[in-house]
Structure 1
Amino acid sequence: MASPIAVAQAFLDLASDERRRLTNMQLQKLVFFAHGAHLAAYGYPLIDAEVRAWDFGPVIPPLYERLREYGSGYVDPDLARGWGGIERASREHQAVRSVWEAYRDHSAWSLSSISHQEGSPWDQVWNYGGRYSVIPDGLTRDYYQNRITRRDTEQRAW
């Protein structure tokens, strides 16, 4: 498992490679989506922190605390240099890269909207389990495994 800050730095590195910048909200959602993809693919968490259902979607509190100073502005691309990042050849980075390739063109509000889709882990906790509660990894894993299976089935049908 990696710290959510190290995962955020991996996204910041990918964004910098393409001369892009990311906001706190974008990073929160991208890290959560990568966490879900990793849980679905490998069965264990990507990050070593809990995720909570907040107003604008899933939030990782330690990452939020680290990014809070940026408000809605762009995050420093060197947020976590020297923290011990994620190896680019690792499974962890594969999850980050796959999420980056799928969602890099989305705004913060678009990512928030995606995280709010009916049946999503955020939706299930926010609407049925208690606002600001922990989003269980098992719920996240099951949701993303179902999405991956459904997508693979649809692709094979073509």
Structure 2
Amino acid sequence: MSLQKLLYYVQAWHLAITDEPLFEEEIQAWRDGPVVYDVWSTRKSQATRRAAAQNVDEVDLDDLASDLIDLVLSVYGSMSGEELSVLTHVERPWQEARGDLPPEAGCSNVISPDSMARFYRAHRRLGGRTATDLATVGVHLHQPTSSGPVDIDAILRSLDDDSADVGDERWGGANLDPGEHATRVDA
């Protein structure tokens, strides 16, 4: 169940960022959440769930798609299938596709790619960034920086001795002219 929801989120974010689908298969609004029927049909047999039974030789992802999958997995990947299902149930694209159907009703209505793009563009963030941010600056995981403690003494030693003594200059040696109306303030 998690795979289906993760595919949905990858597709939704790809649409929101690029206005293009990452994959052509439709996503249906099933009772338990979004489902890519072709993937469900292929994987419903236990035999196709083993890594050895999967043919990934034909999968060719560009950097954007690969980075987007990594980002979606970093945000949604720790959630269980049930948690992802609950999350999709409160989001407009799944709700629009199901219409007035009761929660327990079966459904194969297609979730509109336009609805996904509009909703995630306007109402969600991925890794703390909007779809516009991701489209503008690129899709990538934030790498934590651990530069360690800052050595102020080393920074001060690295400064040129001439620039460290600003003397009586009001503007700290910045070569700014305070003008003829400025009042000098001595400390």
In 1: Cα distance, 2:27 partner to 2:53 partner: 20
Rate the CA distance shift 1:113–1:40 in 2: closer, same or farther, 3 A. Answer: same
Q: What secondary structure is seen at the aligned counterpart in 1 of 2:49? A: coil
Question: For the Cα contact (< 8 Å) 1:121–1:135, is it kept in 2?
Answer: yes
Q: How does 1:123-142 map to 2 (within 5 A)?
A: 123-128=95-100, 131-142=107-118
In 1: Cα distance, 2:63 partner to 2:119 partner: 23
2:74 is the alignment partner of 1:101: yes
Say which of 64, 74, 82 aligns to 1:91: 64
CA deviation after TM superposition for structure 1 residue 152, in Å: 4.2
Q: Give the aligned partner of residue 85 of structure 2.
A: 112
TM-score in terms of structure 1 length: 0.68
Structure 1 segments (4+ residues) deviating >6 Å = none
Instruction: Supply the RMSD in Å over aligned alpha carbons.
Output: 2.7
In 2: Cα distance, 1:85 partner to 1:144 partner: 26
Q: What secondary structure is seen at the aligned counterpart in 1 of 2:58? A: coil
In 2: Cα distance, 1:70 partner to 1:115 partner: 26
User: Structure 2, unaligned stretches of length 5 or more?
Assistant: 131-187
In 2: Cα distance, 1:90 partner to 1:149 partner: 20
CA deviation after TM superposition for structure 1 residue 86, in Å: 3.5
In 1: Cα distance, 2:53 partner to 2:93 partner: 28
CA deviation after TM superposition for structure 1 residue 127, in Å: 2.7
Rate the CA distance shift 1:103–1:149 in 2: closer, same or farther, 3 A. Answer: closer
Rate the CA distance shift 1:131–1:93 in 2: closer, same or farther, 3 A. Answer: same
In 1: Cα distance, 2:44 partner to 2:121 partner: 31
User: Structure 1, unaligned stretches of length 5 or more?
Assistant: 1-24, 154-158
Rate the CA distance shift 1:138–1:79 in 2: closer, same or farther, 3 A. Answer: farther
2:93 is the alignment partner of 1:121: yes
Q: Give the aligned partner of residue 18 of structure 2.
A: 42
Aligned residue type for 1:125: A
Say which of 60, 75, 79 aligns to 2:49: 75
**Higher RCO (CA 8 Å, separation ≥ 6 residues):** 1
Say which of 124, 145, 149 aligns to 2:121: 145
Q: What secondary structure is seen at the aligned counterpart in 2 of 1:58? A: strand
Question: For the Cα contact (< 8 Å) 1:86–1:93, is it kept in 2?
Answer: no
More helix as a share of residues: 1
CA deviation after TM superposition for structure 1 residue 76, in Å: 2.2
In 1: Cα distance, 2:75 partner to 2:53 partner: 23
2:3 is the alignment partner of 1:27: yes
The C-alpha deviation readout for 1:3-59, integer Å capped at 9, x for no partner, is xxxxxxxxxxxxxxxxxxxxxx11100011000010011110011111111110111
The structure with the largest alpha-carbon Rg is 2
